[in-house]
């Protein structure tokens, strides 16, 4: 299967921490990516995980468990500008140039 | 900072017409992609391209679609005979490394077929 599941919407307040979960199914996993997409704009790369564990990049961290087919994106010290759609995307082995399979995205709204 | 550019930003065309969407990838990148996003839906892969050849294409990329790198800078997507369901945002992306750990997306072309 090629399903990627993530919640449709989430809300949080400024300064808080939010965790966006993503589950996937694949027979040949080769990387899990997170992108941010503001309305009407292009996806912007945030992070990727190939091996299990946590990758930290400033206010953003991403975690992967390959055995569970599970990843999450953690956003700390939320700011209003973090209101956007967060896209989980999977890459499979056998795709030479790294075709990405995207989930539907999680629309995050940050309130003051 | 280098970026992927796309033209036009918005294209309106009538059903059955041909359209060409243009992209200028980041200059030292060698791997190129087209994705599309129908309004309110997920981003979908169309095609990847390297060394003047299609590397992989999805089931969406049928005979009415073609890609070309006509010179050293441009990368184009042609839709031969547009259909209403081709209305979408089309994103070009490029990457530097084989396997494309980070794909850089352009701002997109919004195609409206009437």
- Which of B100, B108, B110 is the best mutation test for A, with the most CBs of A within 10 A? B100
Q: Which residues contact B112 (CB under 8 A, 6 or more apart)?
A: B10, B11, B12, B13, B87
Distance (Å, rounded) from C-alpha B14 to C-alpha B77?
A: 17
CA A73 to the chain's CA centroid:
5
Q: Which residues contact B85 (CB under 8 A, 6 or more apart)?
A: B38, B113
Q: What are B88's two structure tokens?
A: 């979408």
Q: How far is B11 from chain A (nearest CA, A)?
A: 15
| B99–A96 CB contact, under 8 Å | yes
Burial (CB < 10 A; 0-12, 13-18, 19+), residue A110, is: buried
Does residue A96 sit at the B interface (CB-CB below 8 Å)? Answer: yes
pLDDT recorded at residue B99: 55
Q: Is the pLDDT of residue A54 over 90?
A: yes
pLDDT recorded at residue A1: 43
**B63-105 residue pLDDT tens:** 999 999 988 789 999 999 999 999 999 999 999 876 557 899 9
In chain A, positions 1-30, which contact chain B (CB-CB < 8 Å)?
none
How many beta carbons lie within 10 A of that of residue B48, not counting itself?
Answer: 28
Exposure of A95 in the CB half-sphere (CA atoms within 13 A): 26
Q: Determine the average pLDDT of the residues in A10-35.
A: 93
């Amino acid at each position: 299967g090629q399903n990627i599941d993530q919640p449709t919407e989430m809300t949080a307040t400024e300064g808080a921490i939010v965790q966006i979960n993503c589950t996937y199914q694949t027979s040949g996993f080769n990387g899990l990516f997170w992108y941010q997409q503001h309305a009407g704009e292009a996806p912007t790369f945030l992070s990727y995980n190939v091996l299990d564990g946590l990758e930290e990049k400033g206010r953003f961290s991403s975690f992967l468990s390959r055995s569970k087919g599970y990843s999450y994106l953690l956003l700390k010290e939320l700011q209003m500008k973090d209101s956007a759609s967060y896209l989980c995307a999977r890459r499979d082995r056998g795709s030479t140039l790294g075709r990405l399979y995207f989930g539907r995205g999680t629309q995050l709204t940050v309130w003051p | 900072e280098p970026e992927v550019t796309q033209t036009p930003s918005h294209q309106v065309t009538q059903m059955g017409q041909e359209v060409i969407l243009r992209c200028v990838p980041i200059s030292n990148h060698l791997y190129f992609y087209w994705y599309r996003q129908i309004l309110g839906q997920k981003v979908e892969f169309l095609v990847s391209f390297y060394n003047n050849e299609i590397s992989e294409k999805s089931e969406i990329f049928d005979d009415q679609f073609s890609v070309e790198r006509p010179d050293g800078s441009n990368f184009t997507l042609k839709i031969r005979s547009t259909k209403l369901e081709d209305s979408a945002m089309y994103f070009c992306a490029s990457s530097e490394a084989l396997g494309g750990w980070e794909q850089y997306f352009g701002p997109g072309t919004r195609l409206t077929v009437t």
